[in-house]
Structure 1
Amino acid sequence: MKSKYKYILTAASLALLLAGCSDSNNEVSKDLEPTAETKIIVDELNREVEIPAKLDRVVMGSILPYFSTWFIATNSTEEIVGIHPNSFNAASHSILKDISPAILDAKTNFIENGEVNIEELLSLDPQVYFEIASQENTVKKLEETGIATVALDTNTDSLNPLDTLNRWLTLTGEITGVTDRPAEIIAEGEANQQLINDTLAEADIKEEDKPRVMVLQYHSDGEISVAGTNMHGNRWLNATGGIDVAADDIDGIKAVNMEQIYEWNPDIIYITNFTETQPEDLYNNVFESQDWSEVKAVQDKKVYKMPLGIYRWYPPSGDAPLMLKWMAQHNYPELFSYDMDEEIKDYYSRFYHYELTDEQVEEIQNPPSEAAKY
């Protein structure tokens, strides 16, 4: 939900704001003027935020994928002095650690038991803190300390899986002043989506011939949680011609039992990087209380772990244009005959100026279970 309040993230400005408010329902805004040292941006809570014009110390909280967006927009992680422990774990198992090793210098100790430790955060001397828009209490707490905080929203009404990334890229360009790289990534994603649309249209795929797909979001011996509508998996499937078997039953993420899985009986299962489960775990039926051998996707060996490049490919990340091609090929291997290894190498060469080895490409497409831990 978009906030109707506009805050200026300095202690003095906060005092003025509170002095001018008689109740919480009054709409407050203030026209800000940038200086030679600052600029004004509008974040995704529709708040005006005053930030330094030149940034070299930024911290990223519960907006887990954003560090990868920052990298692709700027070609640098040297400015990132702090990231969430979950983000750090993903980064430490990613190719980004090889491309931009500075990401491993980022601190994580400002997050304790899922909460921001203000004292530890201040010790990092952040110029700007990036937070997920749904954590409005955290945003408010940070405002009260005078830390400039930019809220980024993961929610979207669009079925376009690139919508969130494109918004973040555009805003990051405004924040950093680097706009050419974001524009190139956005254009690449749009071109890949057009290729998929044209190919599927030319093939004239009938609804009954589309693959029925399930996205396994979280999984363990005691949990089977599936993603449905209003989740990234549903958007990826919509963009690549798959039918989401959970769409009619689940809004968001929901725990289900094996009986529900049998009823859906998906042709394909995609496993996110937010769970340690691997395709072989389902193939080998290693979970004592779950029998996956009756599921078509398992029988046909069509269970796929989503890749992890500079970040996990399931949520918004710099590799999102590649995710479109990867999933489209798994959904329709007979229609999309490109070499995915070469696609990944070419993308990294053009946009990250990094030449991947065959081993690194293999690692991207087959991430370890440890990458889901934090």
Structure 2
Amino acid sequence: MKKKLGFLAAATLAAGLLAACGNDDTKETTSTGEKQTTAEEKIIQDQLGRDVTVPGEIDRIVVGGILPYFSTWYVATNSTKEIVGMHPNSYNAAENSMLAKISPDVLKASTKFVQNGEVNVEELMKVDPQVYFEIATDQKSIEKVEEAGIPTVGVKAIDAAAAEPLATFNSWLKLTSDIKGGDTTDRADKFIKEGTKVQKEIDAKLADVKEKDKPKVLFLFQHNDKSIVVGGANFFSEKWTKATGGIDVAGDSGAQGQKEVNMEQIYKWNPDIIYITNFTQTQPEDLLENKVSGQDWSDVAAVKEGKVYKVPLGIYRWFPPSGDAPLMLKFLAQHNHPDVFDYDMKEEIKTYYKNFYEFDVTDEEVESILHPSSDAAKY
């Protein structure tokens, strides 16, 4: 029997909440020396370094272009009922995720406030958010929403640790804790310790692996018959690859972030392994069976060896930061060095979801995590 219980409160990461205390008329000066908060509000600092005044009690949030953040809210708070709006691309991931089964309130969120790829303030006001979360680089949307009088929090997709997924995820947990507050629990510690433990295990087993024995890895970030976008340096693909004993062929050749390339470049790199993210509808068989019009993948080493894999989707897509990050490390290590690692990913997933989400995953659900639908990438 499945059981939905508490998950990570991002507590070990909470430091210096600026919540006011006392009765309704009491005010407390914050560390700025100029701003003041009441019992009904507090001032937090977003990841743009700005002071943002938010309600002391929050039960209605909207998540814009910072696509993975809605799942972080769940990880930190054990709830999705506060999420009244999210980006359509986030919603497609949510629909096809385990989070929809663990916390089905997430599917009640509206997507109507995003129209033609932009925030429609009139539609946003209809869902009456107390706080709006936006990717830190989208200054236009941040200013538009702020002008409407909605507290807007900028969240960095890549943190100061140069796209290190665990560090980024931890920074999001801290931000959520600052905003939502609440008691601390051992769950956040448990998540962080698990990620650290898994990475140490992988490092120890890879210590004797020579550079010449490491596979050349390519992440296909977005793809269709007209465009090939790969993950390069200073992006999650580089960090995942190097953390699990691979050579980042795109990043090491100078490609930065998300880089559009042609088939001639793919042939030059000739990767041994290709991972396809859930930000594209392309599936492994599209390359393995050479189905893509105008592109011939048949001579690429990864295709010839059958080493093309779809990145899993569990609590959220595994490519960006998520609560399943320790599983992503094991998944990649297993494929990059099957002679070194003997993880049974089906059992690893079941154990992890039981320990961290207190949720019993069925065999069928495990398959859906490891082989996610293309629908998860639709806009």
Fold shared by both chains (TM-score > 0.5): yes
Provide the residue aligned with 1:182 in structure 2: 188
Provide the residue aligned with 2:204 in structure 1: 198
| CA deviation after TM superposition for structure 1 residue 30, in Å | 6.6
Deviation per CA, 1:103-123: give whole Å up to 9, x if none: 110001111111111111111
1:128 aligns with one of 107, 115, 131 = 131
Residue 170, structure 1, aligned to residue 171, structure 2:
no
Residue 306, structure 1, aligned to residue 308, structure 2:
no
Provide the residue aligned with 1:149 in structure 2: 152
Between the aligned partners of 1:32 and 1:321, the Cα distance in structure 2 is 40
Counterpart of 2:201 in structure 1: which amino acid?
L
1:341 aligns with one of 338, 346, 359 = 346
Q: How does 1:245-256 map to 2 (within 5 A)?
A: 245-247=249-251, 248-256=253-261
Between the aligned partners of 1:195 and 1:70, the Cα distance in structure 2 is 28
Residue 62, structure 1, aligned to residue 65, structure 2:
yes
Conservation of the 8 A alpha-carbon contact between 1:170 and 1:182: no
| CA deviation after TM superposition for structure 1 residue 242, in Å | 0.7
Moved more, 52-61 or 151-160: 151-160
| CA deviation after TM superposition for structure 1 residue 157, in Å | 4.4
RMSD: 1.4
Provide the residue aligned with 2:359 in structure 1: 354
Conservation of the 8 A alpha-carbon contact between 1:86 and 1:373: yes
Counterpart of 1:199 in structure 2: which amino acid?
K
| CA deviation after TM superposition for structure 1 residue 88, in Å | 0.5
Provide the residue aligned with 2:237 in structure 1: 233
The alignment partner of 2:54 has SS state of: strand
**Where does structure 1 differ by over 4 angstroms across 4 or more consecutive aligned residues?**
none
Unaligned runs of 5+ in 2: 1-31
Counterpart of 1:104 in structure 2: which amino acid?
L
1:321 aligns with one of 314, 318, 326 = 326
**What is the TM-score normalised by the length of structure 2?**
0.88
Provide the residue aligned with 1:21 in structure 2: none
| CA deviation after TM superposition for structure 1 residue 277, in Å | 0.9
1:366 aligns with one of 357, 364, 371 = 371
Conservation of the 8 A alpha-carbon contact between 1:59 and 1:83: yes
Q: RCO greater where, 1 or 2, for CA within 8 Å and sep 6 or more? A: 2
Conservation of the 8 A alpha-carbon contact between 1:297 and 1:303: yes
**What is the TM-score normalised by the length of structure 1?**
0.89
Between the aligned partners of 2:34 and 2:68, the Cα distance in structure 1 is 31
Residue 294, structure 1, aligned to residue 304, structure 2:
no
Between the aligned partners of 1:53 and 1:306, the Cα distance in structure 2 is 38
Aligned residue pairs, count: 344
Between the aligned partners of 1:174 and 1:265, the Cα distance in structure 2 is 45
Between the aligned partners of 1:240 and 1:63, the Cα distance in structure 2 is 26
Conservation of the 8 A alpha-carbon contact between 1:75 and 1:352: no
Unaligned runs of 5+ in 1: 1-28
Deviation per CA, 1:169-208: give whole Å up to 9, x if none: 111122222443333322221221111112212xx11111
Q: What is the aligned-residue identity percentage?
A: 58
Conservation of the 8 A alpha-carbon contact between 2:311 and 2:370: yes
